[in-house]
A and B are shown apart, each in its own frame.
Chain A
Amino acid sequence: MPETAGRLKKPIHMTQPKMQQPAIDRSDADRRKGVRRTVTILVVIVAAFFLVSFVQIVLMK
């Protein structure tokens, strides 16, 4: 239901501790480096899988 409609039958109270925001964020450069590293690893995995398929096809021929 929309937030404004208010058909709540039984209120639920959840008190939870606030999370501490880390003081130091990853910089944009770190992020870019991370993306590059992730993509490199994943592309290598995919390329290896394709290569294995290809080798398998050639060997079985």
Chain B
Amino acid sequence: MSHAATHDQHDDHHGAPKSFFQRWFMSTNHKDIGTLYLVFALVMFFIGGSFAMLIRAELFKPGLQLMQPYFFNQLTTMHALVMIFGAIMPAFVGLGNWMIPLMVGAPDMALPRMNNLSFWILPFAFTLMLSTLFMAGGGPAGGWTMYPPLSLQSDSLAYVVFAVHLMGISSIMGAINIIATILNMRAPGMELLKMPVFVWSWLITAFLLIAVMPVLAGAVTMLLTDKYFGTNFFNPGGGGDPVLYQHIFWFFGHPEVYIMILPAFGIISEIIPTFARKPIFGYKAMVFAIASIAFLSFIVWAHHMFAVGLPMGAEIFFMYATMLIAVPTGVKVFNWVSTMWGGSMTFETPMLFAIAFVILFTIGGFSGLMLALVPADFQYHDTYFVVAHFHYVLVTGALFAIIAATYYWLPKWSGRMYSEFWAKMHFWNSVIWVNVLFFPQHFLGLAGMPRRIPDYNVAFANFNMISSIGGFLFGASQLIFLGVLIHGVWFSKKKATDRVWEGAKGLEWTVPSPAPHHTFDVPPVIHDDELAHGHVND
């Protein structure tokens, strides 16, 4: 497709605002807001990462080394809240903001001013939450799940609840915007079943967000009223039930897990076809698999609570429902491998991270299946095995996908090629040390080491030391990422072509690099052979 179709020449008279304040604080442009989300996520990633470094430093040897147990509990709680709500989710929203309008041929998001508000709520929410660390009572220390009665003992509960409300409002507004954009702003000819898988994954994720964020808001509001307004929803002394909180929380919490992984599936489904130089294998199956996983995510919440004493029938139902998720997930892994099969593959950094994702996420999926088994879960529950499982899913899954997407689309954003050598250094260091960090935690969990403790039996010393060394080096590897990003955005001399990658297909590659401030003011002409997944009706 020619550049004329993108009408980027129109940018001469309506480019980016000149003033820094106007451009970055009052922006309604999806690319600028996407950049803001991504920068915010990166900052939060390093803040949450520094908490993780402190946690691993404390666990380097048995005994208390650096901090008191109450501060350790604050660190584990804050690490999770910052990484989930501050790093992973905003990073996906940033990628969605940047890429969805470009991928569907829309000039911008459907509701640009609400887009600005969605972002600017976040820095205030996290300032509120992080500020509790500097207050007399300290930050929240009851875990990111905020289970009562433990969480009710925290002096900072009101701050955290208010911050969670703000994050929820931001997420709901973002989700409404994404759905409205995808359903109404697509270029003519971009039918639903011709959309890139990344766009599909975000459409489904946005519905999940709308469905579960109000539930979280309800749960934390009940916590607040229990602490400050004399209610007893969760206090057995007053006739309440702490297990009720767990049911409500995990009705939000399990779909939340998929909110953090479905866009990753979409990203991997974009990258693998590009570097295998083949259309995605089983496009429709991929879309329906994402939808099936999203549906199943609503009926498996109690697998987080097997150990609370559920009725046998409920345990069996939730066990089988959880195991059922392996079917659509298996379809996806099979299709990614089939896409690579027989392809002319090259191994640039986005592809390396995508392949690592497929392998390592599958390890996380398998340990998830082990945890789904009720009798096995009685042993694994609340041990380091669970910590290993969800870090394989969220670090080598969600985070690796975000990093892969950053390398994949960075040349389109900045107009410059990043350093492939240093990016590969980042990849190999990350993939080696992340396994040194998390794989031994499986053994620790199987041997019975509980989670969320600052001290442990000397029997666990060796694997903890190995894990901490892996943690420090994985953390240090991310400084290479930062360096590659800074170089790739501002200093690289190597200009990116419009298509950037030889095998790249899709509308986003038809606009110049860097993408002009405004694109697709006039809807583009779409050809099937320009679509990433080829002709879907074959």
Chain A residues at the B interface, C-beta cutoff of 8 Å: 1-12, 14, 16-22, 25-26, 31, 34-35, 38-39, 42-43, 45-46, 49-50, 52-54, 56-57, 60-61
In the bound assembly, the distance between CA atoms of A14 and B280 in angstroms comes to: 13
* A9–B344 CB distance below 8 A: yes
In the bound assembly, the distance between CA atoms of A10 and B279 in angstroms comes to: 15
Which residue of B185, B210, B278, B500 contacts A46 across the interface (Cβ within 8 Å)? Answer: B210
B111 cross-chain contacts in A, Cβ below 8 A: 35, 39
From B529, which residue of chain A is reached at the shortest CB distance? A16
Which residue of A9, A22, A53 contacts B189 across the interface (Cβ within 8 Å)? Answer: A22
Write the nearest CB–CB distance from A17 to chain B, whole angstroms: 7
In the bound assembly, the distance between CA atoms of A26 and B184 in angstroms comes to: 9
Is B25's beta carbon under 8 Å from chain A?
A: no
* B211–A12 CB distance below 8 A: no
9 pairs, CB–CB < 8 Å, chain A vs chain B: A1-B348, A2-B500, A16-B535, A22-B189, A26-B188, A35-B110, A42-B175, A49-B215, A52-B214
- Number of chain B residues close to chain A: CB under 8 A: 48
* A4–B534 CB distance below 8 A: no
A20 cross-chain contacts in B, Cβ below 8 A: 189
From A26, which residue of chain B is reached at the shortest CB distance? B188
* A4–B497 CB distance below 8 A: yes
A19 cross-chain contacts in B, Cβ below 8 A: 189, 194, 526-528
In the bound assembly, the distance between CA atoms of A35 and B523 in angstroms comes to: 17
In the bound assembly, the distance between CA atoms of A40 and B417 in angstroms comes to: 42
Which residue of A16, A18, A42, A57 contacts B221 across the interface (Cβ within 8 Å)? Answer: A57
From A18, which residue of chain B is reached at the shortest CB distance? B527
* B344–A46 CB distance below 8 A: no
A26 cross-chain contacts in B, Cβ below 8 A: 188
Is B482's beta carbon under 8 Å from chain A?
A: no
B184 cross-chain contacts in A, Cβ below 8 A: 31, 34-35, 38
Write the nearest CB–CB distance from B136 to chain A, whole angstroms: 30
Write the nearest CB–CB distance from B335 to chain A, whole angstroms: 17
Is B379's beta carbon under 8 Å from chain A?
A: no
In the bound assembly, the distance between CA atoms of A26 and B185 in angstroms comes to: 9
In the bound assembly, the distance between CA atoms of A11 and B501 in angstroms comes to: 15
Is B487's beta carbon under 8 Å from chain A?
A: no
* A53–B185 CB distance below 8 A: no
Tell me which residues from 146 to 194 in chain B have a Cβ below 8 Å from any Cβ of chain A. 172, 175-176, 179-180, 183-185, 188-189, 194
In the bound assembly, the distance between CA atoms of A7 and B233 in angstroms comes to: 64
A8 cross-chain contacts in B, Cβ below 8 A: 277, 344, 346, 502
Interface of A: prevailing SS: loop
- B191-218 contact mask (Cβ, 8 Å, vs A): 1 or 0: 0001000000000000000110011011
Write the nearest CB–CB distance from B512 to chain A, whole angstroms: 14
* B277–A22 CB distance below 8 A: no
* B211–A49 CB distance below 8 A: yes
Tell me which residues from 199 to 251 in chain B have a Cβ below 8 Å from any Cβ of chain A. 210-211, 214-215, 217-218, 221-222, 225, 231, 233
A16 cross-chain contacts in B, Cβ below 8 A: 528-529, 534-535, 538
B215 cross-chain contacts in A, Cβ below 8 A: 49, 53
B452 cross-chain contacts in A, Cβ below 8 A: none
Which residue of A5, A11, A38 contacts B180 across the interface (Cβ within 8 Å)? Answer: A38
Write the nearest CB–CB distance from B475 to chain A, whole angstroms: 29
* A34–B210 CB distance below 8 A: no
Query: Contacts A35-B111, A53-B221; is A12 near B344 (CB within 8 Å)?
Result: yes
In the bound assembly, the distance between CA atoms of A9 and B497 in angstroms comes to: 21
B346 cross-chain contacts in A, Cβ below 8 A: 1, 7-8
Is B285's beta carbon under 8 Å from chain A?
A: no
Query: Contacts A38-B180, A53-B214, A61-B231; is A21 near B526 (CB within 8 Å)?
Result: yes
Is B459's beta carbon under 8 Å from chain A?
A: no
* A14–B529 CB distance below 8 A: yes
Write the nearest CB–CB distance from A43 to chain B, whole angstroms: 7
In the bound assembly, the distance between CA atoms of A18 and B529 in angstroms comes to: 7
In the bound assembly, the distance between CA atoms of A15 and B209 in angstroms comes to: 39
Write the nearest CB–CB distance from A10 to chain B, whole angstroms: 5
* A31–B218 CB distance below 8 A: no
* A57–B534 CB distance below 8 A: no
Given contacts A2-B501, A8-B344, A38-B179, 16 further A-B contacts (CB under 8 A): A1-B501, A2-B497, A12-B277, A14-B529, A21-B526, A26-B188, A34-B184, A35-B110, A35-B111, A38-B183, A39-B180, A42-B179, A46-B172, A46-B176, A50-B218, A54-B218
Is B343's beta carbon under 8 Å from chain A?
A: yes
B221 cross-chain contacts in A, Cβ below 8 A: 53, 57
B525 cross-chain contacts in A, Cβ below 8 A: 21
B222 cross-chain contacts in A, Cβ below 8 A: 57
Is B499's beta carbon under 8 Å from chain A?
A: yes
Write the nearest CB–CB distance from B91 to chain A, whole angstroms: 23
